[in-house]
Amino acid sequence: MNDKAANGVSRRKFLKGTAAAAGVSAAASIVPVRFAIAGTAKVKLGILLPYSGTYAMLGNSITDALKLRIAQAGGKLGGRAVEYVRIDSEMSVPKAPQNTKKLADKDKVDFIVGPVHSGIAQVMAKILGPRSTPIMIVPNAGSNVVTGPLCSPNIFRTSFTNWQPAYPGGQVMAKDGHKRAITIAWKYSAGRQMMAAGREAFEKAGGNVIKNIEVPFPKVEFQANLSEIAALKPDAVFAFFSGGGAVKFVKDYDAAGIRKTIPLYGPGFLTEGVSKAQGAAAEGIRTTLHYSADLDNAANRAFRAAYEKATGKAANVFAVQGYDTGSLLIKAMAAVGGDTGATADLVKAMEGAEFPESPRGHWKMSKAHNPIQDIYLREVHGGKQQLQGVAAKALADPARGCRMA
Ligand code: BEZ
């Protein structure tokens, strides 16, 4: 990380602020601070995720797996017990400032884990980025901007940028021989950024996007859009929907009778965690994502078994992101012996984080604080994701506009 301003905070200013805070607490006690803290006050973990509406499944999967990972480590971070302070984001961008400030200023949490929704992530990053604490860990929202122009020393992500799974998806669609495509997504930053990345790759490879359809978020009335797609007869459709909206879109697409003649592609959220509900309507859909349920590694097998035992549900990419958020916290808090006041050291530990054995395979943190990871090509068969291969190896987001990268 260089010393230039990022999101209004230079690294030097950030380190100076955290060192001053550490000096005050060290002077106040003759007992070494880290020793005094360990085993006493609880670590406060703020969580701002959706537990209602179309993304409720995503928020629940992340939370369950985060708690599972911390429970596997004895329920402690750096030797301290954990207190969870949870808010339902309701996927509301207007409520995001008050929710973020409640966790940061009223509850005085040490870390904020959230959100799922890119629009909320941008609001949170604007509030939290210019501060040195609390540290924000994004366990889903892919907003390119958060680890782009809004990147900051105290903002980390354990999931993906919207560009990462979408760009290889556009390449796959072109490689499969398609020339004319339609893109369709919810009308907000995640949909726009994913469609732009898929289109960029598809058109670079000689394809042509003949129409971009935007559906107001979180609406799920697709009939008029599907009639238009059927009339325009593209070779393929590239789509972003997730959670409850993805179930409805894939089922409606199949019911419109175009699944076999106009194949569906997209970032893997389209079929992730919803296979049971989508049933045969998802058969043959090809998507790209940083996870596939059938990844053949010991960490994935152990994770899936533990998650299923704890929740009674099958794990999905959102659970993997929650689980890896837990792993990042465990690593960083161990590095500072539980001293959440040692912000600069916490940040340093998170920046150097590398996970050779995540359920998704190997990943490490980029200079912009986003995972560098493999993107897999999957295809749905018999209600299950089937891994087709690696669509992009160790893919780093370009982090356009991030001055730390
Ligand atoms: C987002 O808003 O960034 C997002 C939401 C659901 C799935 C993937 C991305």
- 3-state SS, the chain, equals CCCCCECCECHHHHHHHHHHHHHHHHHCCCCCHHHHHCCCCCEEEEEEECCCCCCHHHHHHHHHHHHHHHHHCCCEECCEEEEEEEEECCCCCCCHHHHHHHHHHHCCCCEEECCCCHHHHHHHHHHHCCCCCCEEEECCCCCCCCCCCCCCCCEEECCCCCHHHHHHHHHHHHHCCCCEEEEEEECCHHHHHHHHHHHHHHHHCCCEEEEEEEECCCCCCCHHHHHHHHHHCCCEEEEECCHHHHHHHHHHHHHCCCCCCCCEEEEHHHCCCCHHHHHHHHCCCEEEECCCCCCCCHHHHHHHHHHHHHHCCCCCHHHHHHHHHHHHHHHHHHHCCCCCCCHHHHHHHHHCCEEEEECCEEEEECCCCCEEEEEEEEEEECCEEEEEEEEEEEECCCCCCCCCC
Q: How confident is the model at residue 23 (pLDDT cuts 50, 70, 90)?
A: very low
> What are the Cα distances from residue 25, in Å, to 11, 107, 110, 340, 398?
21, 20, 16, 12, 39
pLDDT at 22: 43
Pocket test for ligand 1, best of 89, 117, 272 (most atoms within 8 A of CB): 117
* Residues 8 and 129 sit within 8 Å (Cβ to Cβ): yes
Share of the chain above pLDDT 90, in %: 90
Ligand 1 residue neighbourhood (C-beta within 6 Å): 58, 116-118, 141-143, 190, 242, 269
Q: Is pLDDT of 1 > 70?
A: no
User: Would you state the pLDDT for residue 357?
Assistant: 95
Give me ligand 1 centre to Cα 239, in Å: 13
**247 alpha-carbon distance from chain centroid:** 20
Q: What is the pLDDT at residue 298?
A: 97
**Each residue's pLDDT tens digit, 335-386:** 999 999 999 999 999 999 999 999 999 999 999 999 999 999 999 999 999 9
Q: Has residue 30 got a pLDDT over 80?
A: no
Report CA(170)–ligand 1 centroid distance (Å): 18
Q: Distance between CA atoms of 292 and 311, rounded to whole angstroms?
A: 19
**Mean per-residue pLDDT of the chain:** 93
Ligand 1 center–CA 161 separation, angstroms: 9
Buried b (16+ CB within 10 A) or exposed e, 144-181: bbbbbbbbbbbbbbbbbbbbbbbbbbbbbbbeeebeeb
Helix pair 189-204, 118-128: axis angle to 10 deg: 110
Q: Closest ligand 1 atom to the C-alpha of 141? A: 3
Residue given tokens 């999101």 in the structure block: 7
Distance (Å, rounded) from C-alpha 143 to C-alpha 166?
12
Ligand 1 pocket, mutate which of 54, 90, 269, 290 (most atoms under 8 A from CB)? 269
Kindly report which listed range (1-15, 130-144, 229-243, 384-398) carries the lowest average pLDDT score.
Answer: 1-15
Choosing from 146, 215, 242 the residue with most ligand 1 atoms within 8 A of its CB, the one to mutate for a pocket test is 242
Token duo for residue 251: 């089922």
- Other CB atoms within 10 Å distance of the CB of residue 324: 25
**pLDDT the model gives residue 210:** 98
* pLDDT band at residue 27 under the 50/70/90 scheme: very low
Least Cα distance to 193 among 224, 148, 153, 127 occurs for 148
Q: What average pLDDT score do residues 272-278 get?
A: 95
Cα–ligand 1 centroid distance for 190 (angstroms): 6
Residue of 62, 159, 162, 321 to test ligand 1 pocket, by largest number of atoms within 8 Å of CB: 162
- In angstroms, what is the span from residue 217 Cα to ligand 1's centroid? 11
Q: In this structure, which long-range contacts are made by residues 293-296, counting pairs with CB atoms below 8 Å and at least 24 apart in sequence? A: 293/384, 293/385, 294/384, 294/385, 294/386, 294/387, 295/359, 295/360, 295/361, 295/376, 295/387
Q: How many C-beta atoms lie closer than 10 Å to residue 233's C-beta?
A: 12
Answer with the residue of higher pLDDT: 28 or 379: 379
Predicted local confidence at residue 19, as pLDDT: 45
Ligand 1 atom showing the smallest separation from residue 189 Cα: 2
Q: Give yes or no for residue 18 having a pLDDT over 60.
A: no
Q: How many CB atoms lie within 10 A of CB 217?
A: 19
How close is the Cα of 26 to the center of ligand 1, in Å?
Answer: 41
Distance 313 CA to ligand 1 centre (A): 21
Q: Residue 14: its pLDDT value, please?
A: 53
Per-residue pLDDT, averaged over 238-258, amounts to 98
In the reported structure, the alpha carbon of residue 160 is separated from the centroid of ligand 1 by a whole-number distance in angstroms of 10
Backbone CA torsion sign across 202, 372, 329, 289? positive
Confidence of residue 40 (pLDDT cuts 50, 70, 90): confident
Report pLDDT for 32.
47
Report the distance separating Cα 66 and Cα 315, nearest Å.
Answer: 12
**Ligand 1: residue whose CA is nearest its atom 2:** 117
State the pLDDT at residue 82: 98
Residue 5 pLDDT level (bands cut at 50, 70, 90): very low
Ligand 1 midpoint to CA 392 (Å): 20
Would the pLDDT of 6 be above 90?
no
Ligand 1 probe mutation, 60, 118, 150, most atoms within 8 A of CB: 118
What does the pLDDT read at residue 3? 35
Q: Token pair 């602020």 is at which residue? A: 17
Q: Whose CA is nearest to atom 5 of ligand 1?
A: 117
pLDDT at 389 over 60: yes
| CA R_g for the chain | 21
The per-residue pLDDT for 405 is 86
Q: What is the per-residue pLDDT across 167-218, written as a single tens digit (0 to 9) for each?
A: 999 999 999 999 999 999 999 999 999 999 999 999 999 999 999 999 999 9
Residue 242 CA to ligand 1 center (angstroms) comes to 7
pTM listed for this prediction:
0.93
* Whether residue 38 has pLDDT greater than 80: no
